[in-house]
Every structure is written in C-alpha cells, then in structure tokens.
C-alpha cells in the first residue's frame, strides 16, 4: 500500500471516528436536553377520554382511554404518536409500567385488572378483583406486589408478585379491607395510590373528603396523614419522588406539592402548581424534570370530536 493510500486510509478512519464521536455526543445531548425543549402540550386523539398515565425510563409515555381501553403510546421528546395499543372495549383507568415492559391496568367499573405487553398490547393475564359494584381506579407497583384502589368499596386489592416479577394465578387476588380512620363516603372514595418514601406503607387519597391516608399493607389500618389541617380537595392521582408527594387536584386544576417525612405519617404543603393548559387533569407521571398530566376534561360533555391532551409542567 502506498504512503498516499495509507494517509488517505488513516484520514478516513480518523474522520469516521470523529463523526461517530460527534454522533454519540449529539445523541447524548439529545438525551440531556433541558426539559423545556420537550413539547408542553401533547395532543391525544379526538374523543380519546384519557385518565391514567405512566412514562417508561426511555421517555415513552402511555395514556389509557376510558372509552375502549386503548393505550396511546407517545414520545415525550417529540410529542408524536409511537403506536396505539388496542384495548378490550372496556375502560383503562390508572396504569403503571414495570421493568419487564408490562402494563398493569385498572379496569374501572369492570372490577378487573389486566396486565398487557407494553410493546404489543397483547393480554398477558387478567384478574377479576371483585364482582361487587366497583370502580378499580389506580395502581401502584411495589417490590413484591401490584396494589389497586376501588373508589366504590372500602378495600384495596393486592396481586402478589413472585421472584423476577412472576405474575400470580388469577385466583391469587388478595382483598384488604380499609379500617382505622377510614370512613367510606358517598361518591368517589379511594383514588390515587403510592408508596411512602420509606416503602413501608401505602398512601391513598380519598377523593370525597380530600383526606390523605397512610395504609398499613399488612392490616389495612388507615391513618390520616397529618398535613397541618390542609385538605386536598378533589384529590386524584399521586406521585412520590423522594420525599415529595405530588397530588393532582382534578377540578381545582392544581397539583399540590407536599413534603413528607420518611414514614409518610406527616407532611407539609409547600407549593401548588397550575398551568393555563390544565383542563381537569387526573393522574401524573414524571420524566426528568417534567411532570405530565392528561386532561380528562370531566367538565366537558365528551363527544367523538372532543379534543384531549397531555400537559407538561416543570416540577
């Protein structure tokens, strides 16, 4: 090989390496782009009627439909649709994605919960949590279980998870009655659910009263969290990040920010977030420094042409 050819070959190899490095740096820059560069309002299909939301670690968002249970999948970076997972024709309410790319979905008035493949929407397993009049509203995933709230019955439902997140048999559902300070009310009751910061108990908001409860997952004893007299009116979806609890107050078009102690027995309201694009948001998910909330527009009669969206705010 001549010296000129060698020189050209070395130049080409160096250029390729620089381009590859440049591409890597660009990709990293895109991943680390300030959250403000992401769209603040993400359009959903007309007539979709969203309720639950969650976001995977790569920035893929999932929103469930109250109409037919479809799951709209989108990129938080671009706001564009990735795909839509076909639902069963019944509602999808609260939902969570796990590290095995499975979506755990609350089934609302069906009394069911289901687990689906987050990539294909294929049903992996369904669970009849109750046959009583019910509204299975929200779900949280803990180290060893999936917990579901029921807005019409004073009880939670537990799907115990085995090693490696193995799903239980359909008849392995455990029902946990809510006792202690819990008093069932007319209307919607248990709604959003999360873990306490120390992962030892559950936090459940009662929509009818705006009271936040700490629930012992072994006994079902519910204790009102001491918030210094603050009532979280119209409390809906919950999100815990460290010791910060975000509470969506749907008809208030507000997100309450509460600093909790580690055990979740007390907390202090430190901020209230709102946005002019809020239209009765229900649930909440986080990606980076952004909070994402679907506008359910419960104050607007739904039609096939009603517009819906997801709104991003800074946290």
Indicate the pLDDT class of residue 250, thresholds 50, 70 and 90: very high
pLDDT value of position 243: 98
pLDDT at position 14:
37
pLDDT greater at residue 16 or residue 67: 67
Residues 6 or more apart from 173 whose CB is under 8 A from it?
Answer: 127, 128, 129, 157, 158, 159
Determine contact, residues 69/76, Cβ cutoff 8 Å: no
The yes-or-no verdict on residue 7 having pLDDT over 50 is no
Average pLDDT over residues 193-210: 98
pTM of the model: 0.88
Start-to-end CA distance of the chain, whole Å, equals 60
Report the distance separating Cα 29 and Cα 48, nearest Å.
34
pLDDT for the residue 37: 76
pLDDT in tens, 49-63: 999 999 998 999 999
Question: Mean of the per-residue pLDDT values for the chain?
Answer: 91
Nearest Cα neighbor of 241 from 195, 184, 185 is 195
- Cβ contact 121:69 at 8 Å: no
Q: How far is CA 248 from CA 108, 111, 148, 178, 235, in A?
A: 19, 24, 18, 22, 6
pLDDT recorded at residue 256: 98
Q: Which of 32-46, 94-108, 199-213 shows the lowest mean pLDDT across its residues?
A: 32-46
């Amino acid at each position: 090989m001549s010296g000129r050819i060698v020189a050209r070959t070395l130049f080409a190899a160096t250029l390729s390496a620089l381009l590859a490095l440049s591409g890597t740096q660009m990709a990293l820059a895109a991943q680390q782009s300030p959250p403000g560069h992401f769209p603040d309002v993400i359009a959903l299909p007309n007539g979709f009627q969203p309720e639950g939301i969650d976001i995977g670690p790569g920035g893929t968002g999932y929103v469930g439909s109250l109409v037919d249970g479809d799951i709209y999948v989108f990129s938080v970076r671009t706001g564009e649709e990735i795909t839509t997972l076909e639902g069963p024709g019944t509602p999808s309410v609260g939902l969570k994605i796990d590290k095995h790319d499975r979506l755990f979905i609350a089934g609302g008035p069906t009394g069911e919960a289901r687990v689906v493949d987050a990539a294909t929407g294929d049903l992996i397993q369904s669970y009849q949590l109750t046959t009583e009049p019910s509204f299975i509203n929200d779900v949280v995933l803990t180290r060893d279980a999936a917990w579901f709230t029921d807005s019409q019955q004073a009880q939670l439902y537990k799907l115990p998870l085995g090693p490696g997140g193995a799903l239980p048999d359909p008849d392995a559902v455990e029902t946990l009655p809510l006792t202690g300070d819990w008093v069932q009310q007319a209307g919607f009751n248990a709604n959003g659910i999360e873990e306490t910061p120390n992962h030892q108990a559950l936090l459940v908001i009662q929509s009818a009263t705006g009271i936040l409860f700490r629930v012992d997952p072994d006994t079902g004893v519910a204790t009102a969290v001491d918030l210094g007299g603050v009532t979280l009116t119209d409390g809906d979806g919950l999100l815990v990040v460290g010791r910060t609890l975000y509470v969506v107050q749907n008809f208030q078009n507000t997100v309450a920010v509460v600093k909790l102690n580690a055990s979740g027995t007390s907390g202090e309201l430190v901020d209230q977030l709102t946005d002019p694009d809020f239209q009765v948001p229900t649930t909440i998910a986080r990606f980076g420094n952004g909070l994402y909330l679907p506008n359910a527009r419960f104050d607007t009669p739904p039609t096939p042409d009603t517009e819906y969206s997801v709104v991003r705010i800074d946290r």
